[in-house]
Structure 1
Amino acid sequence: MLPPTLWLSSLIFPLIFHLSSSATDSFIYGGCSQSRFTPGSPYESNVNSVLTSLVNSASFSAFNNFKISVPGSTQADVVYGLFQCRGDLTTSDCRDCVAHAVTRLGVICPGAGGGVMQLYGCFVKYDSASFLGVEDKSEVFKKCGPSVGYNSDTLGRRDAVLAYMVAGNGQYFRVGGSGSVQGVGQCVQDLSLSECQDCLSEAGGRLKSECGTSAWGDMYLGKCYVRYSERGFHSRSDDDNGDVDKTLAIIIGIIAGVAVLIVFLSFLTRLCDRKADGK
């Protein structure tokens, strides 16, 4: 077992890293398949190979997908993977985001046959079953901000932004705004443009219906997302960072308390040893 101070330090380092990371690396959602692979198996080699390929490819592209089967693999060992970066990221930011997503997958999905990670700036997925080119409109993440009430001007602008996000403009990545309301939408590029349009329409409709009069909202489906926010209101990533700040303060307090306790116990031990030597 690790010494108390070392164990607590292992808890605080990920939080410090999160606070110092850019908004591009902010966590949205992640998940792992229930299937597991055998360590040292061809499937593990294929997983490692596909994840490495994703990071390397992100150095020069905003999207790519792979089907990996190393020599000696069977059909059951084949691994499929893809990444998609947000359309306005630089190449270096895209690579950094994908690398960060792959690292997080390794932490939360060790030994998992499949996994998915959505960060603010990129999306990464791998699995044993092919999902490439398959439309997926299942809802995987939703969050709504506080209500702005029935402000007709704000809601009208929100509706206009969402309408633009789901309009058939032949783009996988869309940004737009109306006054104080801004929006962004994106599909994974293994979909056709018509499938992308279908996915964004579904996401935008659900977002408007389920978030109602919210100042901001996020709707992530399996292969696309739509988000909007009104200027002056905190985004969900800002709220999350606030929660991290509170958690970090609590852990620092715990560490300080444990440190005082260790010093006190050490003092008592030395005092007892001196008394024992004096007898």
Structure 2
Amino acid sequence: MAVFVSSRLHSYVCCLLFIIISQASAQPGFLDYFCLSDEGSFTANSTYHTNLNTLLSNLTSNTQIDYGFYNRSYGENSDKVYGIGLCRGDVKADECRSCINNSTVLLTQLCPNQKEAIGWYDKCMLRYSNRSIFGLMETSPLFYTLELVNATNVDRFNQVLDNLVENLTGIAAASGDSRRKYAAGNATATNLETTIYGVVQCSPDLFEQDCNRCLVDAFSRIASSGKISGRVATPSCNIRYENFRFYDEPSTTADAPAPSL
């Protein structure tokens, strides 16, 4: 992220950025964020700024929603703001709302005047924009991480992981509905020393084929690495796998059959 300032303000701005980024790093479960400049910026106390604050303060106000997906819009014409909050499918309603509300505070600090921004926590995602983002399959911006440790049997591990993610992708895309497109499960195989636990999820406003395409594209970023854990997140979908169980009782489970060698 490039910041251009006059020399007079340079020290102050650098100090302020350091404080904000340090606060972000200290947030439990905070993963990554992007301030997107393509859609422009706004000035403090402008109509757009007021609309954004109004939208974010009311994003999770509907307590009847217990499935972790919030989407709202507020304002009119060029000052209209669209927002989406999405929690991992196993996260309880109160914890979900708390995660999204924390995200609204942090993301607006990290992106103080961009009209479009996105941020990911371990258990939720928040994004907002001045363009309609509902029902769009978008695979960028994205972030991904991979564990430095390799699996003991890389080829076997990759095959079992591929099979698991393929199974879960089919379940999330085909069996999900407009409230939740999520699947979690585990897989193991003979001569594989560890069980692989995985979660895949799409924004539930996607069509089945878009959900499937998003997950396939996302997984291609981390597939065949042979690493014992990894994750990738985009605006429209996310995938995570570990060698330990990291999710609560899933809404949908799938035990993938072991591949033949």
Runs of at least 5 residues in structure 2 that lack an aligned partner in the other structure: 1-15, 189-194, 247-261
SS in 1 for 2:91: coil
Q: Is the 8 A contact 1:58 1:94 kept in 2?
A: no
Indicate whether 1:196 and 2:211 are aligned. Answer: yes
Matched length: 213
Match of 1:47 in 2: 52
Q: Is the 8 A contact 2:20 2:110 kept in 1?
A: no
SS in 2 for 1:55: coil
Separation in structure 1 between the aligned mates of residue 120 and residue 103 of structure 2, nearest angstrom = 7
Q: 1:216/1:107 Cα in 2 relative to 1: closer, same or farther (>3 Å)? A: same
Match of 1:133 in 2: 135
Q: CA deviation at 1:137?
A: 2.4
Separation in structure 2 between the aligned mates of residue 166 and residue 50 of structure 1, nearest angstrom = 32
Q: What residue identity is the alignment partner of 2:216?
A: S
SS in 1 for 2:61: helix
Q: 1:33/1:156 Cα in 2 relative to 1: closer, same or farther (>3 Å)? A: closer
Separation in structure 1 between the aligned mates of residue 154 and residue 136 of structure 2, nearest angstrom = 39
Q: Is the 8 A contact 1:147 1:213 kept in 2?
A: yes
SS in 1 for 2:221: helix
Alpha-carbon RMSD across the aligned residues, in angstroms, is 2.7
Q: 1:155/1:122 Cα in 2 relative to 1: closer, same or farther (>3 Å)? A: same
Larger Rg: 1
SS in 2 for 1:167: helix
Match of 1:92 in 2: 94
Task: Output the TM-score relative to the length of structure 1.
Answer: 0.68
Match of 1:116 in 2: 118
Match of 1:38 in 2: 43
Q: 1:119/1:139 Cα in 2 relative to 1: closer, same or farther (>3 Å)? A: same
Q: What residue identity is the alignment partner of 1:154?
A: F
Q: 1:58/1:38 Cα in 2 relative to 1: closer, same or farther (>3 Å)? A: farther
Match of 1:66 in 2: 72
Indicate whether 1:216 and 2:229 are aligned. Answer: yes
1:136-175 equivalences in 2 (<5 Å): 136-138=138-140, 140-145=142-147, 146-168=149-171, 169-171=174-176, 172-175=181-184
Q: 1:109/1:163 Cα in 2 relative to 1: closer, same or farther (>3 Å)? A: same
